[in-house]
Structure 1
């Protein structure tokens, strides 16, 4: 659910809204615990009065028992709060993990072009910050706030002066928060920004570890790290100054309040407006209130961290997603018909358009080979056919329906692809092939693996199809990787297959296996890019791109004659 232009505080409440009943219970327990905490000063006041009588009575014993019981029950309520908060923390973690896993594949590609997707996933770790801060906010922060409120209410019953004291305390506390909280949040957000820059750069070093290792002793890794660290330390110092300023206000505030209360409380006792028991009880309440104010101020760093974390996660959940509410593509026994009508496409990265008024007609079950002077052009064309980007100019129709009107998710279920962006993931061989698609059966996977002569290689893995592949560490041969990705493209009997430079890393015999695979499903339309002569021979049509424009369209024979 997208929540654009929402304040971090509102984001936080929206995060907790599904668990409003549990939150309510936490607050109820906090109120009860706050009321019970007042039993200590009131009990001490009454006990002192009994002690002044100079004798032990049943009332004194009962009172001591009740005070101790109230303290114990208050602890039980706190444990109940901890249990509820733990449940909330677990739910937030699970919800965040599922939301990231669900949203990231659905984010519009034009949005991801502006960002670095792996860096976005780092925002997930802000969930841990929310988890840790939630208990403090719901238990410590709430308890401190209620202790202040109940303490001030109780003090007002001792003398009218304490009503003025309570109002002054609330006004000063609100003033401190008002003048420092906004700057504190902004500095916390800026600090977090640099933390992510550092994490992003360290990931880049890890991704390019071989390049850095083979470069000898490159300084770039340390130079860029130092640059980001300087930014982080500057932002952190600014944020720390805000925290010190808040605590400085607190120290001055505590000194003034303690001084005023000791002097005025003493006068009230001397004037017999209060007795000794009331004075001691009032001083205990005042100490509890001041201690709660200190907890409140010291908890502000946690508040900033939680609100910053919520805002950082919100920057991911705010990114616009693809819409899957279009027309369901009609069922067909044959491959898809693809019509491309004067399509042009340009991005901010290049000065000239990547595609210029492309016109193509691909009949059902045809094999069309695209020969291009640039992989950028063919890759962009295939991405547009797959609905990955919005079309700038022109139109693409699948089965006579404009691609913009189709349910893109439904369309992609019928498309198999092997593009330059496709890669193996850290999962089993079978999971790498099926990607969890239910229509991709194991029997068909085995059949295609046999066609492209991959069965022996898979059986050679330690656990066959259940072997977990780590593409970063296992040094899987490129031809094996390519064949696994080819099975992924053809499994499930797709109506349209898009292959980008499928012969790269394949030798002559493997190319013939690929051709056999391309002929394996006759009711499939295949569009592929290649300059390999063997693949051009089997094409029903060859289309040549130069500088993003179609300069030739015809058969293999006419293409050879032209050359």
Structure 2
């Protein structure tokens, strides 16, 4: 899939909020027009003052100018309210996008990526939130201010039209030729920012290992290397900003010189009066201030576009395909058939599974055994539908996997993998994952897995909060909770990878008896070395 440019992503976001942005620009145009009341009002006031008489007209003009300032401020408040609504919506939209996508990202896409590190990119949503007001309000307001200011000056003299068009051309050329380099260096800088954050997270995750080896200072040297790379690319980005700043300073001098000289000549030639000249000077100051505002916004534009690039890295990842429309009959024991199945990981020339053919009957109790690296874990994930086969056929109840609705298929599978899958939530949430579970069956599971006594000792029972990774929970309890999660919805296919590795030996037989009991209408596939599993099995497959 072709990479989408950050600018295209930005325009895509703006399309979502077309009505709101139209309102912002409408108010921006009104603000730009109302702001012209200041120089025009002052011009008229000076004309009255030159008469030497204080009249009611002078008071009215002062009131009009003050009212213009108040109305302009009111419109800006309205703009802020609209932008705040957009910011809140962007945050909510981004949070739901990440929450929806992360569990559904194709596993092979994450083969060489640490998935939690991807989540750091969510914080670029905050960058977009902060930068958007500057782009939608400050940038647009400054642009309208320059355009309307030039139009007003053009009314005073047609010479200002030529000068204005020339200055706008110079401004456009500066952005066109320095902008792409600024975006490129901003993205490069951001890359090392994320590398550093990831390394610091690794230090936090393996804190005890580095605590006993801190004398080597390896953790400091690695952090220092990444920081140096970041600073080098940060300096490259700053050089682009510095070039743009110098160009804008020259541009400001050019604007001031051109407009002042031209205005002075027109006054000497009596084509402008003093009041018009003062008004023109005020407009010139407004234009110069608007150019400075554009310069300040430019860095925010780079940050926002870079944020879109980083978030796009996650949102562009391929998701699991939903497959067909066929559904799995709930609580029906599954039959599995593999015919000449081949599987290899990306960028790996060797095949982990090669021409594998096997059949697993309904309600059987199957044990996978074999040496380490023989493909047991991979085969379990293939059967679970997590890893797609390179070639060959794999059937569930006589139907190819790809013909099933993905959600229906997943709801029929119970899984336990060696990796720790405890998340921060209550014991009940960690078991049910939000699924409706019959209370009597739930209690049966807790008793059979011998978790009830532990839960009874907790002040909040099943509502006791568990730490991420089960940090303060006994390992055996954490492992039993994972088993309970796999069986609480009474799946038709139960896949377990070394499910009893942290559970005391004296408790394992009772759990094996429960899981292999014929009363459970599931097909059980287990990776295990315990000989008691073999005794209770109906089939042993050695890889």
For the superposition of Structure 1 and Structure 2, which TM-score range results when normalised by the shorter chain? over 0.9
Contact 1:338-1:361 within 8 A present in 2 as well: yes
**CA deviation string 1:373-410 (max 9, x = no partner):** 12661110111011111101322110001113322321
Match of 1:559 in 2: none
Question: What TM-score, normalized by structure 2, do the two folds share?
Answer: 0.97
Instruction: Give the one of 26, 29, 41 matched to 2:27.
Output: 29
Structure 1 residues 350-383: Cα deviation after superposition (integer angstroms, max 9, x where no partner): 5642222222111111101111212661110111
Map 1:52-451 to 2 at 5 A.
52-331=50-329, 334-348=332-346, 352-374=350-372, 377-438=375-436, 440-451=437-448
Report what 2:513 is aligned to.
516
> Is the 8 Å Cα contact of residues 451 and 516 (structure 1) preserved in structure 2?
no
CA distance in structure 2 between the aligned counterparts of 1:472 and 1:519, rounded to whole angstroms: 28
Match of 2:501 among 482, 504, 508: 504
Compare 239-248 and 462-471 and name the one that shifted more. 462-471
Q: Secondary structure at the match of 1:217?
A: helix
Rate the CA distance shift 1:243–1:286 in 2: closer, same or farther, 3 A: same
Which sits farther off after the overlay, 78-87 or 418-427? 418-427
Instruction: Please report how far the alpha carbon of residue 452 of structure 1 lies from its aligned counterpart in structure 2 after TM superposition.
Output: 1.3
d(CA) in 2 for partners of 1:375 and 1:448? Answer: 33
Shift of 1:340: 1.4
| TM value normalised by structure 1 | 0.93
Whether contact under 8 Å (1:247, 1:298) holds in the other structure is no
C-alpha displacement of 1:216: 4.3
What pairs with 1:481-560 in structure 2 (closer than 5 Å)? Answer: 481-520=478-517, 521-545=519-543
Aligned pair 1:454/2:451, yes or no?
yes
Task: Tell me the residue number matched to 1:551.
Answer: none
Rounded to whole Å, the distance in 2 between the matches of 1:162 and 1:203 is 58
Mapped partners of 1:165, 1:349: distance in 2: 60
- Determine the C-alpha separation between the residues in 2 that align with 1:434 and 1:207: 27
Distance 1:232 1:264, change over 3 A: same
- Provide closer, same or farther for how the CA distance between residues 68 and 172 of structure 1 changes in structure 2, counting only shifts above 3 A: same
Q: Cα offset for 1:176?
A: 0.8
Post-superposition Cα deviations, 1:442-478, rounded to whole Å, max 9, x if no partner, equal 4432220111111011122231111111145743211
Contact 1:96 1:127 (8 Å CA) reproduced = yes
Instruction: State the distance in 1 between where 2:203 and 2:448 align.
Output: 39
Whether the 8 Å contact between 2:479 and 2:502 is mirrored in structure 1 is yes
Structure 1 gaps, min length 5: 546-563
What is the CA distance between 1:4 and its match in structure 2? Answer: 4.9
Asked if 2 retains the 8 angstrom alpha-carbon contact of 1:503 and 1:532, the reply is no
Number of matched pairs? 542
Separation in structure 2 between the aligned mates of residue 37 and residue 233 of structure 1, nearest angstrom: 42
